[in-house]
Amino acid sequence: MYTQLASEVTVIIHAAWPVNFLAPLPSFDSALAGTKNLIQLANSGNFKKRMIFCSSTASVIRAPTPICEEPSCDPAHASPLGYSRSKWVAEGMVYQAGGEVVRLGQLSGDTKAGVWNAEEGWPLLLKTLEHVHCLPELKEPVQWLPVDIAADAIVRIALRQGACEDKRFWHVLNAKSLPWNTVLDAMNTWRGHLFRATPQEWLKRLAVAERKGETLKLLGLWKETVKFPYNHTGVRLRKLIVFLTVWRRGDHGGTSSAGL
């Protein structure tokens, strides 16, 4: 089977990755080993395959702006999460082996059904409305990209011929931001009157709901990201946005699942 793949496959899109918010970098050793195996496959047989690695903008989220479509040589460019750092490491492996890297922004539900994995960070935040009848007011905008549009872009990059042949890094994200209040306005239209709380008040209500027996995923992590009142720079707020963007699926108890 391996020999057949090596002789027939022309393009490899590596789009699976374990996602766990609390896992340290060494926990991703098996994923990095899998990446190495795919690199070997891409460079085996009678011809070199085009290999596309689906990374994340979290791998360079701390790089100086504007963040360019180019390799990062500084591990400090990644967020401190083991997930983000593992993506940074994998990017270097793929790049050095002649592959290409697609850094994806925050993916959301598709454009047809709008279905979004209910266990991801943003949907989990929106679901807290059921428990505490309010949502937090956030000053940072959101930049969600429907997953089917992202998939189409990745396939176009992978199958391109003649255009940008030497290009090795790509950023696929929604460059048009949307104010969080616009999301809340839509929720208000859909659900009726929506109470908008400060992040601190929202967390207090979540803590009360938990004491009453509600099971609230990520509450402990949200407490850490909104530990102190926001200052005018919005540092804590940006930390919460980064957390929600990076978190995909996998509860904070340590169970992870495959994702991007």
Residue pLDDT, tens place only, 71-80: 999 999 998 8
Q: Comparing C-alpha atoms, which of 38, 248, 236, 68 is closest to residue 167?
A: 68
C-alpha to C-alpha distance for 260 and 258, rounded to whole angstroms? 7
- What is the per-residue pLDDT for 239? 52
Predicted pLDDT at 215: 59
Per-residue pLDDT, 30: 97
pLDDT confidence of residue 257: 44
Torsion sign (Cα): 155, 161, 162, 165: positive
210: phi then psi, degrees, rounded to nearest 5: -65, -40
pLDDT at 231: 36
Instruction: Between 248 and 56, name the one with better pLDDT.
Output: 56
Confidence check: pLDDT of 260 > 90: no
Give the per-residue pLDDT at 232. Answer: 33
pLDDT tens per residue, range 123-178: 888 888 888 899 999 887 899 999 999 999 999 999 998 888 899 999 999 989 99
The stretch 53-64 carries a mean pLDDT of 94
pLDDT more than 70, % of the chain: 82
Report d(CA 17, CA 48) in Å as an integer.
Answer: 23
pLDDT tens digits along 213-236: 765 666 666 766 665 443 333 334
If one compares 210 and 250, the residue with the highest pLDDT of the two is 210
pLDDT over threshold 70, residue 245? no
- CATH 3.40.50.300 is right for the domain spanning 2-259: no
Distant-in-sequence, close-in-space partners of 164: CB < 8 Å, separation ≥ 6: none
Domains of the chain by residue range: 2-259
Residue 244: predicted pLDDT: 55
Average model confidence (pLDDT) for the chain? 84
* Per-residue pLDDT at 185 exceeds 90: yes
Predicted pLDDT at 92: 98
Per residue in 85-117, pLDDT (tens digit) is: 999 999 999 999 999 999 999 999 999 999 988
Per-residue pLDDT, 118: 81
If pLDDT is split at 50, 70 and 90, which confidence band does 121 have? confident
pLDDT on residue 256:
44
Is residue 33 scored above 70 in pLDDT?
Answer: yes
Residue 180's pLDDT is 93
Tell me the sheet residues that pair with 101.
53, 169
- The predicted structure's pLDDT at residue 193: 84
* Alpha-carbon span 179 to 90, nearest angstrom: 33
Residues 226 and 221: their CA atoms lie apart, in Å, by 9
